[in-house]
Structure 1
């Protein structure tokens, strides 16, 4: 987006005046909407097809799908933490191992 000077479409609100810069914003909005529509999987496209602003499309997609990555990371972390054993480490070494796993 930034390389095409269109990132502002996802970050800024629609211009309030329907003249001047609005024409450029409107054109850029439709360009970004088409990029988004052409980038999502076919079963996702109908869920965003009714949006008229790329910013709203992007917000919906971010709210709906961004947490999936976090869930995977959380599950991986939980598994890793559950598999760490103290064994022959002293308490400070064991604690350092837990902290290192958490910070990854």
Structure 2
């Protein structure tokens, strides 16, 4: 860390250990080179210390705002070859292009994260699927995926609503049929006759009476 943040610079040590410092610096410098995007290597390829690389990257990416975008755009449009060679001119221009592209990619990722994190929890599965994609999709592609998931949810919800309505109608029809039919609780042959069933039956029926002729006559009660 001292080689990166400048607290362990070469001139701070005696010359007898400069060789050791150079070896350690080469190792840390290789770590940094292997950690950045390949598109940014051209801007730091000629750096001699890890501190120089870290300072350059910090200045370029520590603050990503509109003023830096404007400054990059101005530098790109105003850069001229001048007295330097074509190779140096092109390297400088490409470095500015790479930084601008990295800035745009960073802003696009921020937009994607903001869009996904603001979605309702019902889109958790789709959101996880998008974040696991490598490389991350554009914001337009992610939007299309979420809209497709939303449409699918609407179709499933509609089918479930229709099924629930049909089930309610079926249950209502069954209940109506049962109330108009011969229910088990009113069937005396199954549940048994009440104690006064026979006496009521006699009263509600007809009883014969006999006249002087001995012929039976019926009196309706």
Q: TM-score range by the shorter chain?
A: 0.5 to 0.7
Look at both structures and tell me which one has the larger radius of gyration over its CA atoms.
2
Report the equivalent of 1:9.
Answer: 3
Structure number with the bigger relative contact order (C-alpha 8 A, sep ≥ 6) is 1
Higher strand share: 2
Deviation at 1:8, TM superposition (A): 1.2
Unaligned runs of 5+ residues in structure 1 are 1-6, 73-104
Q: How many residues align?
A: 67
User: Aligned-residue CA RMSD in angstroms?
Assistant: 2.5
Is the counterpart of residue 53 in structure 1 residue 56 in structure 2?
no
Structure 1: how far apart are the matches of 2:14 and 2:26? Answer: 16
| Mapped contact 1:9–1:25 kept (Cα < 8 A) | no
TM-score by length of 2: 0.27
Unaligned runs of 5+ residues in structure 2 are 67-106, 108-221
Deviation at 1:19, TM superposition (A): 2.6
Counterparts of residues 10-89 of structure 1 (less than 5 Å): 10-11=4-5, 12=7, 13-15=9-11, 19-68=15-64
Deviation at 1:23, TM superposition (A): 1.3
TM-score by length of 1: 0.55
